[in-house]
Chain A
Amino acid sequence: MDIIVENLVQVWDDGGAGVRALDGITHHFRSGTLTCLLGPSGCGKSTLAQIVGGIETATSGTIRIVDPKNPSAPPARPGQCSVMMWQSLNLFPWRNVIDNVTFGLEMAGVPKPERYARARELLASVGLRNFEEKACSQLSGGMRQRVALARALIMDRPILLMDEPFAALDAQTKIVMQEELTRIFERMRKTILFVTHAIDEAILLGDEVVVMTARPGRIKEVIRIDLPRPRTQEMVGTHEFGELYDRILHLIREEVLNAMRQQDEALA
């Protein structure tokens, strides 16, 4: 699914003049590509993901979601063919692991044996075999993140919106999960919007890295990542990787400094 975003503006109501979170975002997220969104904290990454996912409605601007194989079909409604993995996870505390994962299928009326079978398979692939009956409160932060990932993946929607999905993982689990995501992506060719603040993760996973400015969020630069697929962890050491890293680090540093200056001014 192609996601064509034009001139997106989002002003959050804060009881006063409003917070301008996004200020004219225009971008074409291509079908079957994994786009990483990078930017300083508070620049509107989550906001953008939520608008693309139809969870929030933008103040102005348009989103069109079209199937490139069938361009004459009417565009899909945002949210219809996407699913979000939330930065705050939003697991349902009253449901155990497997009932969180199967929530969407249950709502869709999929019979229990079928949805449980699919959930078991997915949970095993994210390293949570035998945790099906646990309460979510009994899991570590990283395990909860994997439950949230499985809950999104089980929906099998063409667009996957992932808001800092691996932020709470330890370094080792993170590598495993990145490999798992790469594998899923290279096999299923979903359209993925992946929010992160880790530059190496963005390069390792993405076909494209969109660097955003400090608030109000605009697109500062779009960097194509032409590293061959399948991607492996070993690529991190290559010269090409290092060059991309330096380039993005430079862009990000400018914006983080901008964001800090803004905060200082706001406090003064």
Chain B
Amino acid sequence: MTASGKARSGRPARKRRDPLWLRVLPSLSVVLFIALWELAVKAGDVAPIILPAPSSIARYLVAMILDGSLPYNLAVTFVRIMAGFLVAGVLGVLVGVLMGMSKVLARVIDPWIAALYPLPKISLIPLLIIWLGTGEAYILTISAITAFFPVVISTYAGIRQTSQELVKAARDLGASTRQIQTNVVIPAAIPSIFAGLHLGMGVTIILVVAAEMIGGSNQSGMGYLLIRFGQVMETEKVFASLVALAVFGGVIMKGQQAIDRWVAPWAVGKS
């Protein structure tokens, strides 16, 4: 009865905290980088159209938040990302699980995946615009198609890699084949499924922003903002949008990790 202790989170407790200077080093390097940038721009008298100073980027950032353009376009992009991710995630996990369960289905689908996965999905944009126009359907389709592949491939791999020992143990305890599939094979694949969903989220973000840049007719979203500011050479606004997009991407990824930990704490850090 020794192992109860304080390790309640299920994660190994950090053995010893790093020294203070090591912990502040990452933030310090960012601050230093920004300070040098500011100094260089001021000293070199660089035209803001080429490289604006961080201080003026920050001013524009605040202005764009206050006038609502940044929150609005971020929200639009966020909804598009979620839609694409949801479609790709649900279909990818479903098809991956079905492939893992049925040899016949795996045989049929495998060559399609092998053929289509290496194709850069961006190259489908002209076709999709011909078929779907330049509206929401096009953005959803391009991002969902792209994210579908990593999800389906990881899910299928996870299912196939299920420990046969665990399957045997479950059968020995009286589980039927059906019960083994739902109670052993699928939970065992969850770390791989999570890994696939992370990859899927990454490409969904990329593809939604890219689709907003190329051909999106709705004139909204972060991709559209970036392109528009770029074309009129409002470099400060381009930078401000980039900063917002980077923070936004980081928040989405962290949120996804938090959901993973909440849904299946045992699976975190396994793959």
Contacts and interface: CB of A to CB of B under 8 A. Distances in A.
B47 interface: no
B170 A103 contact: yes
A83 B170 CA distance: 11
B34 interface: no
B172 A137 contact: no
**SS of B interface (majority):** helix
A189 to B, nearest CB: 22
A94 B187 contact: yes
Interface of B: 1-4, 7, 10, 163, 165-166, 168-176, 179, 183-184, 187-188, 190, 264-267
Contacts of B169: 84, 86, 90, 92
7 contacts: A86-B165, A90-B165, A90-B168, A134-B4, A135-B10, A139-B3, A143-B3
Contacts of A140: 2-3
B219 to A, nearest CB: 46
Given A55-B171, A90-B163, A90-B166, 8 more contacts: A79-B172, A92-B169, A94-B187, A103-B183, A107-B173, A107-B175, A107-B176, A127-B1
Contact of A94 (B1, B3, B179, B264): B264
Contacts of B172: 53-55, 79, 83-84
A151 B173 contact: yes
A59 interface: no
A104 B169 CA distance: 10
A135 B10 CA distance: 8
A92 B165 contact: no
A155 B267 CA distance: 28
A138 interface: yes
A93 interface: yes
A83 B139 CA distance: 55
Contacts of A72: none
Interface string A32-74: 0000000000000000000001110000000000000000000
B3 A55 contact: no
A6 B265 CA distance: 47
A238 interface: no
Interface in A144-169: 151, 155
Contacts of B183: 103, 107
A108 interface: yes
A263 interface: no
B173 A94 contact: no
Contacts of B4: 131, 134
Contacts of B265: 135
Given A92-B184, A93-B266, A107-B179, A138 B173 contact: no
Contact of B187 (A53, A92, A139): A92
A86 B4 CA distance: 25
A94 B10 CA distance: 12
Contacts of A108: 174
A125 B44 CA distance: 78
A246 B86 CA distance: 68
Nearest to B179: A107
B187 A104 contact: no
A55 B171 CA distance: 8
A131 B183 CA distance: 22
Interface in A14-38: none
B173 A104 contact: yes
A55 B168 CA distance: 7
A55 B167 CA distance: 10
A113 B176 CA distance: 22
A82 B168 CA distance: 13
Given A90-B166, A140-B2, A104 B174 contact: yes
Contacts of A137: 10, 266
Given A94-B267, A138-B3, A139-B3, A83 B190 contact: no
The 3 closest A-B pairs by CB, nearest first: A104-B173, A90-B169, A94-B187
Nearest to A103: B173
Contacts of B188: 94
